Amino acid sequence: MIIQRAAVLRGSKAPPRPVRWRAETGGTRALGSIGGLRTKEYAVPELSVTLVTAAGAEQASVAVGTTAMDLVGGDRSVVVARINGELRDLATDLADGDTVEAVSVESPEGLAVLRHSTAHVLAQAVQDTFPEAKLGIGPPVKDGFYYDFSVEHPFTPEDLKVLEKRMQQIVKSGQRFARRVVTESEARHELAGEPFKLRLIGSEGGADVMEVGGSELTIYDNIQAKDGSTCWGDLCRGPHVPDTRYIVPNAFKLMRTAAAYWLGDQANEQLQRIYGTAWPDKEQLHAYLTFLEEAEKRDHRKLGAELDLFSFPDEIGSGLAVFHPKGGVVRRVMEDYSRKRHEEADYEFVNTPHITKGALFEKSGHLDWYAEGMYPPMQLDSDIDEDGHVRRQGVDYYLKPMNCPMHNLVFDARGRSYRELPLRLFEFGTVYRYEKSGVVQGMTRARGFTQDDAHIYCTREQMADELDKLLTFVLDLLRDYGLEDFYLELSTRDPEKSVGSDEVWVEATEVLREAAEKQGLDLVLDEGGAAFYGPKISVQAKDAIGRTWQMSTIQLDFNLPERFDLEYQAADGTRQRPVMIHRALFGSIERFFAVLLEHYAGAFPPWLAPVQVIGIPITDDHNDYLYDVAKRLKAEGIRVEVDTSDDRMQKKIRTAQKSKVPFMLIAGDEDVANGAVSFRYRDGSQRNGVPVDEAISDIVSAVRNRIQVESAPA
RNA sequence: GCCAAAUUAGCUCAGUGGUAGAGCAACCGCCUUGUAAGCGGUAGGUCGUCGGUUCAAGUCCGACAUUUGGCUCCA
């Protein structure tokens, strides 16, 4: 028993709150101020707890009845506590032996709690405004939160404004989030009007959602600050911020509405979802909104139209792009460089048709498990007489959704020797997939696209070395296109849904893991995420504004070699089955194009830019001079134009700037007199009076070295 | 595929039942200019398509197409 100085809330029935405790090192120290509270000395039983801070763990003695808030909640940025490894409300009473750590709103967990609490405020606002709305679930998600509701009419943008206002009021009123453990029957009784919540209570560990989970059912009541009345409640496992004032009124925003299936299952009824975002302060909200704006500016669909690169004509169909001349140049340069690198890496180039008889996809199994993703067949050559009798059986032709079966036929076109392995068959193979109408999205999810596809056939012994070389090859190539920041994702076997022996899977997965680890990049496990036919590694790349894109995939396949009965003759004369590796480094050219376009915001490095140099004469008198410069650049393989339109030169600069040409070469009387040109770069910087020879060699070297050029050299 | 919203000139967008508009781009002319829009003129639309309501439809209703945001899917 020790004597402690304790603070008592005026008029409160709450137990004494100790504000001092004795640290193990001896002595006492203040825990933090509790302003405006009377203090009084109490004799209270003590508890021994471990306080974890950035500095380390220390033992402390506190009075019985001490809450996590008392111990670690002094700072408003602390929103919850981690007690014995679990996130708990700050109002939680501590128990002897607890390990307690403050969780800041700036930490990922703290932020998620803030967002989840904001979702509760949204739900309360919705039920205040639309009393008939039934509650779905409302978890935190990346950058924010959502809450699903069952309502008769979908929410409108105007509704969102009203709801946002109501949320501000709730937040400002400072309602306390109070946790209450209930029995199942109590919960059922209280939530009789909430059919979806009732279903959650019923689901036995099936649904892993914020609402239920853990050993007990809990309801969070919202308690009014002014009179202590309960104004709203929700089934929720928590935890929450202590009260709604922890939510900053101008740091959250409702973003959009959308429909969503109950528990994400297409077979379930559809609910109306409201997405919101919430942040610790308004600066972070502002930064997030700015990021969204930046992303919108870089949207490849928008830039594609603005820069005249490609379009999706209605007449052709959804998800089918045409490349315009400027986009065609970029695409060709991308392909050319990729081809060159593949040639150097000992790939062999093959070419296969876009359509095939159905028999091929029966053999590969695609018609069994991928038919939904394929365009329906073209029926050819059937001949039916007037009586309806089939005189000649027709044949179904399909557009190919994948290249692998065709490559297998190339492998199988003659007997193969172990001496030929690894055999690497490469093709820019155009495939067609009947993506569901709602999922088509610009170049990143198209119905027709070209893969930089290769299939590598090797022996099991060669597999490790081949994968190792392959990963190095991929990363090296992606870096040449200006992507620098990668991590790898390893998808492992789903035992429920896979073919091949355990032994082969284990070996292959290990081999992939080792190859990945050698690269020294972060490796994320995607447990059970592999296709049924083999484990996979994918390369995820971060773009200039920090978004990650799945780029390359490298996939082992134990299924197709079997189905196609692929064999090679080994050194000992026996016939052996090769290991097959599928790999696409760009994923698809279209997708990679889109990623690069967004990464560079349209300002491609000179080697990829559709127009690399534009000559801008000050007056018409300088046209011929620039034509001569352009001729010399063209001789070096540079894509150059001279703007001889009627516009004034300022206008030409503006036009060139908007089309993001890396080098503007301006020439007037002074330049002509000196045999020079003046550079203007994309950031507006200048470099004047550069001798023509030097200008040409600078441009040529920037292109040859594939470097990005935004501004005048320092 | 499902839910919602959108679709008007090449592009961006006005136009709330009564004679289709603007800016930019295009074309023609004038201007001859030193680092982000010189001036004037001309032309350009079956208002996504089809159907319905109405004396009258870009506008109201329905179907379809396409796009966008989500859900589901992306092996």
Q: Say if residue A251 is in the same domain as residue A232.
A: yes
Supply the pLDDT for residue A11.
32
pLDDT grade for A418, boundaries at 50, 70 and 90: very high
Which tokens is A681 given?
A: 């770069």
Q: Please give the residue that has the higher pLDDT: either A512 or A270.
A: A512
Q: Is the pLDDT of residue A78 over 80?
A: yes
pLDDT in tens, A175-209: 999 898 888 888 888 888 888 888 887 664 444 55
Asked if strand B contacts A259 at the CB level, meaning under 7 A, the answer is yes
Task: Please compute the mean of the pLDDT values over residues A355-359 and round it to a whole number.
Answer: 94
Q: Say if residue A123 is in the same domain as residue A216.
A: yes
Asked if strand B contacts A474 at the CB level, meaning under 7 A, the answer is no
Q: Is the pLDDT of residue A3 over 60?
A: no
Judge whether A455 counts as a catalytic residue.
yes
pLDDT grade for A74, boundaries at 50, 70 and 90: confident
- The nucleotide minimizing the C1' distance to residue A369's CA is B75
Q: Say if residue A368 is in the same domain as residue A465.
A: no
- The nucleotide minimizing the C1' distance to residue A316's CA is B66
Q: Report yes or no on A168 lying in a domain.
A: yes
Task: Please compute the mean of the pLDDT values over residues A516-523 and round it to a whole number.
Answer: 91
CATH number at residue A619: 3.40.50.800
pLDDT in tens, A424-472: 999 999 999 999 988 999 999 999 999 999 999 999 999 999 999 999 9
Which tokens is A457 given?
A: 């056939």
CA of A619 to C1' of B28 (A): 20
- The nucleotide minimizing the C1' distance to residue A677's CA is B34
Asked if strand B contacts A444 at the CB level, meaning under 7 A, the answer is no
Q: Say if residue A118 is in the same domain as residue A160.
A: yes
Chain A residues 588-627 within 7 Å (CB) of strand B: 618-621
Asked if strand B contacts A564 at the CB level, meaning under 7 A, the answer is no
Q: Is the pLDDT of residue A342 over 50?
A: yes
Q: How far apart are CA A58 and CA A302, in angstroms?
A: 56
Query: Residue type at A37?
Result: L
Q: Taking the alpha carbons of A195, A201, A203, A209 in that order, is the dihedral positive or negative?
A: positive
Q: Report yes or no on A664 lying in a domain.
A: yes
Asked if strand B contacts A354 at the CB level, meaning under 7 A, the answer is no
Q: Is the pLDDT of residue A510 over 70?
A: yes
Asked if strand B contacts A189 at the CB level, meaning under 7 A, the answer is no
CATH number at residue A465: 3.30.930.10
- Closest residue by Cα to residue A278 from A141, A411, A386: A141
Residue indicated by tokens 């082992």: A556
Strands A348-349 and A423-432 come out as: parallel
Which tokens is A605 given?
A: 């490095």
Asked if strand B contacts A583 at the CB level, meaning under 7 A, the answer is no
Supply the pLDDT for residue A209.
55
- The nucleotide minimizing the C1' distance to residue A272's CA is B3
Task: Please compute the mean of the pLDDT values over residues A596-620 and round it to a whole number.
Answer: 96
Q: Is the pLDDT of residue A297 over 50?
A: yes
Query: Residue type at A697?
Result: S
CA distances from A414 to A357, A363, A364, A626 (A): 21, 18, 19, 58
Q: Say if residue A475 is in the same domain as residue A328.
A: yes
Q: Report yes or no on A136 lying in a domain.
A: yes
Q: Report yes or no on A604 lying in a domain.
A: no
Q: Is the pLDDT of residue A669 over 60?
A: yes
Q: Say if residue A637 is in the same domain as residue A685.
A: yes
CA of A159 to C1' of B16 (A): 21
Among A115, A240, A326, A404, the one annotated catalytic: A404
Mean pLDDT of chain A: 87
Q: Report yes or no on A372 lying in a domain.
A: yes
Asked if strand B contacts A66 at the CB level, meaning under 7 A, the answer is no
Q: How far apart are CA A496 and CA A451, in angstroms?
A: 30
pLDDT grade for A91, boundaries at 50, 70 and 90: confident
- The nucleotide minimizing the C1' distance to residue A271's CA is B3
Q: Is the pLDDT of residue A5 over 50?
A: no
Q: Please give the residue that has the higher pLDDT: either A386 or A706.
A: A706
Supply the pLDDT for residue A43.
54
Chain A residues 269-308 within 7 Å (CB) of strand B: 270, 272-273, 301, 305
Q: Is the pLDDT of residue A388 over 50?
A: yes
Domain that holds residue A372: 355-399
Supply the pLDDT for residue A203.
63
The complex scores an ipTM of 0.93
Q: Please give the residue that has the higher pLDDT: either A11 or A470.
A: A470
Supply the pLDDT for residue A13.
36
Among A70, A234, A453, A543, the one annotated catalytic: A453
pLDDT grade for A637, boundaries at 50, 70 and 90: very high
- The nucleotide minimizing the C1' distance to residue A266's CA is B72
As a whole-number percent, the residues of chain A with pLDDT over 90 amount to: 54
Judge whether A175 counts as a catalytic residue.
no
pLDDT grade for A542, boundaries at 50, 70 and 90: very high
Q: How far apart are CA A120 and CA A348, in angstroms?
A: 59
Task: Please compute the mean of the pLDDT values over residues A517-527 and round it to a whole number.
Answer: 90
Judge whether A165 counts as a catalytic residue.
no
Asked if strand B contacts A373 at the CB level, meaning under 7 A, the answer is yes
As a whole-number percent, the residues of chain A with pLDDT over 70 amount to: 92
CATH number at residue A86: 3.10.20.30
pLDDT grade for A602, boundaries at 50, 70 and 90: very high
DSSP 3-state of A70: helix
Supply the pLDDT for residue A2.
36
Q: Say if residue A30 is in the same domain as residue A79.
A: yes
Burial class (CB in 10 A: 0-12, 13-18, 19+), A163: buried
Supply the pLDDT for residue A576.
96
Q: Say if residue A417 is in the same domain as residue A563.
A: yes
Domain boundary pick from A67, A83, A104:
A104
CATH number at residue A160: 3.30.980.10
Q: Report yes or no on A302 lying in a domain.
A: no
Q: Say if residue A252 is in the same domain as residue A136.
A: yes
Cis amide bond preceding A131, omega within 30? no
Domain boundary pick from A87, A104, A121:
A104
Asked if strand B contacts A497 at the CB level, meaning under 7 A, the answer is no
Chain B nucleotides close to protein (CB under 7 A) are: 1-5, 11-12, 25-26, 29-38, 65-75
Name every residue whose Cβ is closer than 8 Å to that of residue A160 and which is 6 or more positions away in sequence: A254, A256, A257, A274
Query: Residue type at A499?
Result: V
CA of A134 to C1' of B71 (A): 18
Segment of A161-170, A368-377, A627-636 carrying the highest mean pLDDT: A627-636
Supply the pLDDT for residue A653.
96
Asked if strand B contacts A674 at the CB level, meaning under 7 A, the answer is no
Domain boundary pick from A576, A599, A622:
A599
Q: Say if residue A465 is in the same domain as residue A562.
A: yes
Supply the pLDDT for residue A387.
79
pLDDT in tens, A122-175: 999 999 888 888 888 888 988 899 999 988 777 877 788 888 889 999 999 889
Judge whether A142 counts as a catalytic residue.
no
Q: Is the pLDDT of residue A266 over 70?
A: yes
Judge whether A582 counts as a catalytic residue.
yes
Q: Report yes or no on A371 lying in a domain.
A: yes
Split into its structural domains, chain A has a count of 5
Supply the pLDDT for residue A675.
95
Q: Say if residue A113 is in the same domain as residue A214.
A: yes
- The nucleotide minimizing the C1' distance to residue A658's CA is B36
Q: Report yes or no on A513 lying in a domain.
A: yes
Q: Say if residue A93 is in the same domain as residue A121.
A: no
pLDDT grade for A44, boundaries at 50, 70 and 90: low
Judge whether A536 counts as a catalytic residue.
yes
Supply the pLDDT for residue A210.
55
Supply the pLDDT for residue A277.
92
Among A366, A455, A513, A682, the one annotated catalytic: A455
Asked if strand B contacts A153 at the CB level, meaning under 7 A, the answer is no
- Return the C-alpha torsion angle A306, A598, A433, A312, nearest 10: 0
- The nucleotide minimizing the C1' distance to residue A314's CA is B66
Judge whether A234 counts as a catalytic residue.
no
Among A74-78, A425-429, A580-584, A694-698, which stretch is predicted with the lowest mean pLDDT? A74-78
